[in-house]
């Protein structure tokens, strides 16, 4: 492909494929379309009509199967948008074809599958990012900067909460939804976004004590989960997720340290109380005007903005060109998955689960995944 210039300087143009032409695929297609040096060239789905429909909207090819999509020389990167429990199985084929990977969250639904995918990407020497688009939301970028500057002091408490609403029709809309084998419940599917943000801010988790239940839906997996966490740093926290809360509320992250607290709702900082912001005794830190707003995604599965997906995909393209690890790696995806699975194990067996150090997120030494 030709080599146009992106907003961040010259970058090699890349052709994209999408495997899985369901709900999330149009977010990927629109995000790719918004990146100047990215172009969607082909899509595929086991339901050919879905691939044809997505291809018609985005003026690209509908390939009859994954092998045909992977055989194309003009596909450099593949977005894996199939049901969660198939991510590794499909992703391993993508890596084996030497294509870079954008893998939707969760990375898969078992640690074994996640490890196989990480190994496959490493062996093939391709880059992989696991979607956690909210790391690219404006409020999270600012919070990360404050944390890196040490402005919250030593972290004490971190809380992540997803109180969303999904109808029974949502779970009935595809056979894989709400199953343990291919999806998981409210924490694996919906809550993992803010769980990943919590881990990103607070660091590795050492212990998990949890409860879960399926209260208002007919499905195998949980529709409500709540866990108390002890972080390796000694700080504590909570993570909660439900799809049974009517009418659905903003996703919330609250990070508190010895020098301040930042509260995020749906990607924006709604409250910031920092010792460093005080201009005199008794004066409070700044408080932004926004608050309490309900995101589209709180009640609608497809109610997402494309900007943060586009930023994460763009970061992968930078990483490919620079030979560095993407900002969100396979290891990060695995770390969030490990905590979800620990929550499930704790809730099932009524005991605290200790995470082995091997489950902690760690730096990507070879930068390949
Ligand atoms: N990042 C986000 O905010 C976000 C939002 C929604 C969904 N997701 C994730 O995206 C993934 C897909 O979710 P969805 O809601 O789009 O599901 P969906 O059921 O709407 O779409 C999945 C598609 O994959 C196809 N498919 C199944 N097996 C396949 C295979 N082996 N090869 C090719 N195609 C296959 C299905 O026919 C279907 O069209 C899930 O992992 C989900 O967690 C992420």
* Residue 179 placed within a domain: yes
Is residue 310 domain-resident? no
Residue 9 has what pLDDT? 57
Asked whether residue 239 is assigned to any structural domain, the reply reads: yes
Q: Domain boundary residue among 133, 152, 183?
A: 133
335 CA distance to ligand 1 middle (Å)? 21
Q: What is the pLDDT of residue 25?
A: 98
Q: Give me ligand 1 centre to Cα 21, in Å.
A: 7
Q: Is 300 near ligand 1, meaning CB less than 6 Å away? A: no
Regions of the chain with pLDDT less than 50: 1-7, 280-293, 359, 362-369
- Is residue 24 within 8 A of residue 81, CB to CB? The reply is yes
**Ligand 1 pocket mutation pick from 62, 68, 79, 82 by most atoms within 8 angstroms of CB:** 82
Nearest atom in ligand 1 to the alpha carbon of residue 90 is 31
Asked if residue 257 and residue 149 are part of one domain, the reply reads yes
Residues 256, 177 contacting (CB under 8 angstroms): no
Find out whether the beta carbon of 91 lies less than 6 Å from any atom of ligand 1: no
Beta strand 236-242 with 224-231 is antiparallel
Report residue 116: phi and psi, to 5°.
-65, -40
Q: Are residues 21 and 150 in the same domain?
A: no
* End position of a domain, from candidates 72, 105, 133: 133
318 CA → ligand 1 middle, Å = 25
Residues sharing a CB contact under 8 Å with residue 338, sequence separation 6 or more, in sequence order? 111, 355, 359
- Considering the domain architecture, whether residues 13 and 110 belong to the same structural domain is answered as yes
Q: Are residues 114 and 171 in the same domain?
A: no
Provide the 10 A C-beta neighbour count for residue 322: 11
- Contacts of residue 92, defined as CB under 8 A and 6 or more positions apart, other chains included, come to 116, 117, 120
Side-chain-side CA neighbours of 323 within 13 Å: the count stands at: 0
Cis peptide leading into 145, omega within 30 of 0? Answer: no
Q: What number of CA atoms fall less than 13 Å from residue 330's CA on the CB side?
A: 30
Domain count for the chain, please give it. Answer: 2
Distances (CA, A) of 83 to 14, 61, 194: 25, 22, 20
d(CA 185, CA 103): 19
Q: How far does the centroid of ligand 1 lie from the alpha carbon of residue 183, in Å?
A: 10
Report the CATH number that the domain containing residue 245 is assigned in CATH. 3.30.360.10
Residue 232, φ and ψ in degrees, nearest 5: -60, -25
Which atom belonging to ligand 1 lies closest to the Cα atom of 177? 19
Q: What is the DSSP secondary-structure string of 285-349? A: ----S--S---GGGT-TT---SHHHHHHHHHHHHHHHHT---SS-HHHHHHHHHHHHHHHHHHHH
280 and 219 in a common domain: yes
Nearest CA to 133 among 297, 369, 14? Answer: 297
Instruction: Say if residue 13 is in the same domain as residue 148.
Output: no
Ligand 1 centre to CA of 160 (Å) is 25
Dist. CA 243 → ligand 1 center (Å): 18
What is the rounded end-to-end Cα distance, in angstroms, of the chain?
24
Q: Is the same domain home to 129 and 169?
A: no
Does 347 reside within a domain? yes
- State the Cα–Cα distance between residues 314 and 297, nearest whole angstrom: 23
Residue 290 sits in the same domain as residue 220 = yes
Q: What is the pLDDT of residue 270?
A: 97
Query: Which of 18, 19, 21, 24 to probe ligand 1 with, by most ligand atoms within 8 A of CB?
Result: 24
Q: 193 with 286, same domain?
A: yes
Q: Is residue 59 part of a domain?
A: yes
- 150 and 266 in a single domain? The answer is yes
- Which structural domain range is residue 300 located in? 136-304+328-359
Count of CB atoms within 10 A of residue 3's CB?
Answer: 10
Kindly report the protein residue whose alpha carbon is nearest to atom 4 of ligand 1.
24
Report the pLDDT value the prediction gives residue 8, as an integer from 0 to 100. 52
**Of 160, 163, 251, 250, residue with least CA distance to 201:** 160
Residue 88 near ligand 1, beta carbon < 6 Å: no
Give the atom of ligand 1 at the shortest distance from the alpha carbon of 24. Answer: 16
Helix, strand and coil in the chain, % to nearest 5: 35, 25, 40
**pLDDT value, residue 223:** 98
Distance from the alpha carbon of residue 28 to the mean position of ligand 1, in angstroms: 11
For 143-202, the pLDDT digits (tens) are 999 999 999 999 999 999 999 999 999 999 999 999 999 999 999 999 999 999 999 999
> How many Å separate Cα 28 from the centre of its chain?
13
For residue 86, how far is its CA from the centre of ligand 1 (angstroms)? 9
Domain final residue pick, 79, 108, 133? 133
Q: Which residues pair with 260 in a beta bridge?
A: 257, 274
- Is 353 inside any structural domain? yes
Q: What is the pLDDT of residue 7?
A: 46
Q: Are residues 10 and 97 in the same domain?
A: yes
23 lies in some domain: yes
User: Which pLDDT score, from 0 to 100, does residue 310 have?
Assistant: 98
Q: Is 24 in the pocket of ligand 1 (CB under 6 A)?
A: yes
Number of CB atoms found within 10 A of residue 281's CB? 5
Write the CB contacts of 237 (distance below 8 Å, at least 6 apart in sequence): 157, 158, 159, 160, 198, 202, 228, 229, 231
Ligand 1: does its nearest atom lie under 6 Å from the Cβ of 104? yes
C-beta of residue 39 within 8 angstroms of C-beta of residue 32: yes
CATH of the domain at 54: 3.40.50.720
Residue 73 inside a domain? The answer is yes
| pLDDT value for 294 | 53
21 close to ligand 1 (CB < 6 Angstrom): yes
Indicate if 129 and 223 belong to the same structural domain. Answer: no
């Amino acid at each position: 492909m030709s080599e146009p210039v992106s907003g961040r300087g010259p970058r090699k143009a890349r052709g994209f494929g999408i495997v899985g032409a369901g709900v999330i695929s149009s977010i990927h297609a629109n995000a790719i379309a918004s990146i100047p040096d990215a172009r969607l060239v082909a899509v595929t789905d086991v339901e050919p009509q879905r691939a044809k429909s997505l291809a018609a909207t985005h003026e690209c090819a509908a390939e009859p199967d994954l092998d045909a999509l992977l055989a194309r020389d003009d596909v450099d990167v593949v977005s894996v948008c199939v049901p969660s429990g198939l991510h590794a199985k499909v992703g391993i084929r993508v890596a084996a074809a030497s294509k870079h990977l954008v893998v939707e969250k969760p990375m898969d639904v078992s640690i074994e599958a996640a490890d196989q995918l990480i190994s496959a990407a490493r062996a093939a020497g391709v880059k992989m990012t696991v979607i956690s688009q909210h790391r690219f939301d404006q409020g999270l970028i600012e919070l990360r900067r404050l944390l890196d500057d040490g402005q919250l002091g030593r972290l004490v408490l971190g809380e992540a909460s997803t109180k969303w609403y999904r109808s029974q029709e949502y779970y009935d809309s595809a056979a894989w939804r709400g199953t343990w084998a291919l999806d998981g419940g409210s924490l694996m599917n919906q809550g993992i976004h803010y769980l990943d943000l919590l881990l990103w801010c607070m660091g590795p988790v050492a212990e998990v004590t949890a409860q879960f239940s399926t209260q208002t839906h007919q499905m195998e997996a949980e529709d409500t989960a709540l866990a108390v966490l002890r972080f390796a740093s000694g700080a504590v926290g909570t993570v909660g997720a439900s799809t049974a809360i009517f009418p659905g509320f903003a996703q919330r992250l609250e990070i508190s340290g010895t020098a301040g607290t930042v509260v995020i709702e749906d990607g924006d900082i709604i409250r910031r109380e920092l010792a460093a912001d005080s201009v005199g005794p008794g004066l409070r830190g700044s408080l932004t005007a926004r608050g309490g707003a309900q995101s589209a995604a709180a009640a609608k599965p497809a109610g997402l903005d494309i900007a943060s997906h586009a930023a994460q995909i763009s970061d992968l393209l930078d990483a490919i060109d620079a030979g560095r690890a993407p900002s969100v790696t396979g290891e990060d995806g695995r770390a969030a998955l490990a905590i979800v699975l620990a929550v499930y194990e704790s809730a099932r067996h009524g005991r605290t689960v200790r995470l082995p150090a091997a489950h902690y997120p760690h730096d990507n030494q070879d930068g390949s995944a």
